[in-house]
Structure 1
Amino acid sequence: MKITTSRFGEITVAEEDIIRMTEPLLGFPDLKQYVLRDHSDDTPFKWLQSLDDTTLAFVVLDPVLFKPDYAVRLSRSDVEDLQLESEESAQVYTIVVVPQDPKKMTANLQAPLVLNTRNNIAKQVVLNDPQYPIKYPVFGE
């Protein structure tokens, strides 16, 4: 499938690369299909590009890169929704907000995105853990 995005221009997306959300991301009730794109070869950042609204893309990052002790505990229903058969199939990303001063970027540790890498089913999981804020400084405080 070919789509034209506001950020990347025309891109080709293979059917097997489409990420399908079990539920929409919070605040985006009509958007359920995405594709992950690398930001560049030399950074760990990725873009979560919406296929339902091609003007929308989120910067995402593996939280272990900036918070090594970060751990997501999935409920039984989360595991079922994602059709996870093993922990190795789960890739966690956090949505990152990049302000004008990139050194002040924050990541939402309270509501990570969990992706089953075997079937490309994903879910935003809301954690009720006070140690994981919505605006966690990626580059320290």
Structure 2
Amino acid sequence: MKITTTRFGEIEVAPEEIVEFSEGLLGFEDAHRFVILNTQDGGPFRWLQCLDKGDLAFVIIEPLQFMFAYDLEISDADVEFLGVQAVEDIVLYAIVTIPDNPRDMTANLQGPLVINVKTRRGRQIISNNPAHSLKTSILAAMEDRARRLAAAAQPPADAPASTDSPKKEGRG
């Protein structure tokens, strides 16, 4: 099917690419069918383009692309609604807000998008985790993630020095 959008012009969307948000998104309850589009640079950001309203599109990102950890509790009702059979069926996205200064961009971790990649059903849920903010700084979280990953890659200070020479085993 061909869809006309204000941001991308006319795009071709295969039926198996459509993600159905039957309840819509918060503030956009009448927008139900979406497609996820990659950015031209292949970076971590993507577009969630509404097929019902060509002028409605959101920048989205997977939280673990910029955060060290993102623990989201998904209710049994949400799991059932989405038809989830295995955790591998789920992909999480956060809607990104980009102000005039892109360094100040934020992600909504309190209202993530949960998508079952097999059934192509999606739902925006509300996280009750107080650590999940409506406006999480993506740049600050990326810097924190980089520090933590670098620290995790360093051997502990009290670890013995590694030697590359083979050890001889004797018989007792």
Classify the TM-score, shorter chain.
over 0.9
- Structure-1 residue corresponding to 2:59: 59
Task: Tell me if the contact between 1:22 and 1:82 (Cα under 8 Å) persists in the aligned partners.
Answer: no
Query: How much does 1:65 deviate?
Result: 1.4
Does the residue aligned with 2:60 lie in a helix, a strand or coil? Answer: strand
**How many residues get paired?**
141
Higher helix share: 2
CA deviation map 1:84-113 (0-9, x unaligned) = 000001000000001111110000000000
1:16 matches 2:16: yes
User: C-alpha distance in 2, partners of 1:138/1:129?
Assistant: 18
Task: Tell me if the contact between 1:22 and 1:81 (Cα under 8 Å) persists in the aligned partners.
Answer: no
Q: Give the TM-score normalised by the residue count of structure 1.
A: 0.97
Query: How much does 1:68 deviate?
Result: 2.0
- Structure-1 residue corresponding to 2:40: 40
Query: How much does 1:69 deviate?
Result: 1.1
Paired amino acid for 1:2? K
Paired amino acid for 1:79? V
Q: Structure 2 unaligned runs (5+)?
A: 142-172
1:1-141 → structure 2 map (5 Å cutoff):
1-140=1-140
Bigger radius of gyration among the two:
2
Moved more, 38-47 or 72-81: 38-47
Does the residue aligned with 1:114 lie in a helix, a strand or coil? Answer: strand
Q: Give the TM-score normalised by the residue count of structure 2.
A: 0.80
CA deviation map 1:41-99 (0-9, x unaligned) = 43110000001110010000000111121021110000001000000010000000011
Structure 1 segments (4+ residues) deviating >2 Å: none
Q: Structure 1 unaligned runs (5+)?
A: none
Paired amino acid for 1:39? T
Paired amino acid for 1:140? A
What is the percent sequence identity of the aligned residues? 43
User: C-alpha distance in 2, partners of 1:33/1:72?
Assistant: 24
User: C-alpha distance in 1, partners of 2:79/2:27?
Assistant: 23
User: C-alpha distance in 2, partners of 1:42/1:22?
Assistant: 29
Moved more, 67-76 or 49-58: 67-76
User: C-alpha distance in 1, partners of 2:22/2:53?
Assistant: 17
Looking at both structures, which has the greater relative contact order when contacts are Cα pairs under 8 Å and sequence separation is at least 6?
Answer: 1
Paired amino acid for 1:56? L
Does the residue aligned with 2:109 lie in a helix, a strand or coil? Answer: coil
Q: Aligned pair in 2 of structure 1 residues 22, 68: CA closer, same or farther (>3 Å)?
A: farther
